[in-house]
């Protein structure tokens, strides 16, 4: 397996485009994206667990109930959530894409992101979809990616090439996500595509299983949003024998999917609103996977730990505190903590107690842009990894006037 360029267009038969249609105030920011497969594709998706869900999620779930789709339409700047006509607007978006591409409206995945509770006008979208259809390109992944961004500061795109049954396959994706990011899905939209042949049930199994170790293990601010969704389309153009059950090919596919999703997780966490540092919490020695995951999530979500990382302060007591209130079955007397970065390692805790360390060395380690919080629990062999970011002054600035 190797990393390649191309994002959602890396796989054969996929094209994409992004444009500005007028939903957002700033004409320099694209606000409408389209991704299309040349042929019918199997489809799967996972959605936010928030009881308040955006209308696009309801429509998408109905559209891919048969396990197939051809296109994805997504707007930024408006979430189309908590609107009386939300379903109607989302269905109209699908119909407009169907008309422009000559496909069924029910073969369209719909997504929206932005301000909640603000009516979404259909007129700019109706004007923008024909533009997108005309501009669809195998080089359009970055254009589409830029159009789904809200407070993101960086494009989030990755793709891999891998082998299935002697056939070369590709899997890639784009994502948006910067704030309202928390386990059990967050304010992120992730669109994945692959030319591998895999049945819809196995595609859903792969996606549902992988998010438990990837997208459900990131947190920026503890807020789980209303519109987050991860979708994947598989059009089979790589020509491999279709994956219909467990086995070596399914394992290889899962490996490719996990590789892409981990990279997107790191990009989302590292681009958290106002963030200056990417945090990765690696927990080993857990009694079981549940305990390891619970600890990793708790530490990466701790506002006090995140603030300490921003201040480059090796306040390891905050890590122990987060472990203690996590609810995981942990013997605190066995816990060890190490801070790691490109500048080296500093051990700050062993067997649940502090150990002498150089504050100068710790400051140097925490000065780096990527910091690993390495925790050993000493209770077993289970492991888990979670991703997050530091908590900065700019987070409040960004969200203090987000709507206005």
- Which helix H or strand E contains 247, and what residues bound it? none
Give Cβ neighbours of residue 324 (< 8 Å, ≥ 6 apart).
330, 332
Catalytic residues: 187
Measured CA to CA in angstroms, residue 57 lies from 95, 112, 289 at distances of: 16, 9, 30
CB of 287 closer than 8 Å to CB of 391: no
∠ CA 52-54-55, rounded to 5°:
125
Q: Could you give the 3-state DSSP secondary structure of residue 100? A: helix
- Cα(56)–Cα(74) distance, integer angstroms: 9
Query: What letter would DSSP give residue 2?
Result: E
Q: How crowded is residue 3: how many other Cβ atoms within 10 Å of its Cβ? A: 13
What region, left, alpha or beta, does residue 114 occupy, with left being phi > 0 and alpha being psi -120 to 50 degrees? left
∠ CA 17-14-63, rounded to 5°:
85
């Amino acid at each position: 397996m190797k990393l390649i360029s191309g994002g959602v267009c890396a796989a054969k038969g996929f094209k994409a485009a992004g444009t500005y249609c007028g939903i957002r105030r700033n004409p320099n920011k694209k606000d409408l994206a389209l991704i299309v497969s040349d042929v019918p594709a199997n489809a799967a998706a996972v959605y936010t667990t928030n009881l308040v869900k955006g209308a696009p999620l309801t429509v998408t779930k109905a559209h891919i109930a048969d396990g197939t789709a051809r296109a994805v339409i997504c707007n930024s700047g408006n979430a189309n959530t908590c609107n009386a006509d939300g379903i109607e607007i989302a269905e109209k978006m699908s119909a407009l894409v169907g008309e422009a591409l000559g496909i069924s409206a029910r073969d369209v995945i719909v997504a929206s992101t932005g301000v909640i509770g603000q009516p979404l006008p259909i007129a700019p979208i109706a004007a923008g979809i024909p533009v997108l259809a005309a501009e669809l390109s195998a080089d359009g992944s970055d254009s589409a990616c830029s159009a789904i961004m809200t407070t993101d500061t960086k494009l989030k795109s990755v793709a891999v090439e891998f082998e299935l049954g002697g056939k070369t396959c590709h899997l890639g994706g784009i994502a948006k996500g910067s704030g309202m990011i928390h386990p059990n899905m967050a304010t992120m939209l992730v669109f994945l595509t692959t030319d591998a042949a895999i049945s819809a049930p196995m595609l859903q199994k792969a996606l549902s299983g992988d998010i438990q170790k990837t997208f459900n293990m990131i947190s920026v601010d503890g807020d789980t949003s209303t519109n987050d969704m991860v979708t994947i389309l598989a059009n089979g153009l790589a020509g491999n024998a279709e994956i219909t059950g467990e086995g070596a090919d399914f394992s290889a596919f899962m490996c490719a999917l996990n590789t892409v999703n981990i990279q997107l997780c790191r990009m989302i966490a590292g681009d958290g609103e106002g963030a200056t540092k990417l945090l990765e919490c690696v927990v080993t020695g857990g009694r079981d996977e549940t305990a390891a995951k619970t600890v990793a999530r708790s530490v990466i979500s701790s506002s006090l730990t995140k603030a300490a990382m921003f201040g480059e302060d090796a306040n390891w007591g905050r890590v122990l505190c987060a472990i203690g209130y996590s609810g995981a079955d942990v013997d605190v007397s066995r816990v060890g903590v190490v801070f790691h970065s490109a500048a080296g390692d500093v051990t700050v805790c062993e067997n649940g107690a502090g150990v002498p360390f150089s504050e100068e060395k710790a400051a140097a380690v925490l000065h780096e842009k990527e910091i690993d919080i390495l925790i050993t629990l000493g209770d077993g062999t289970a492991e888990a990894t979670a991703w997050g970011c530091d908590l900065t002054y700019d987070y409040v600035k960004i969200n203090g006037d987000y709507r206005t």
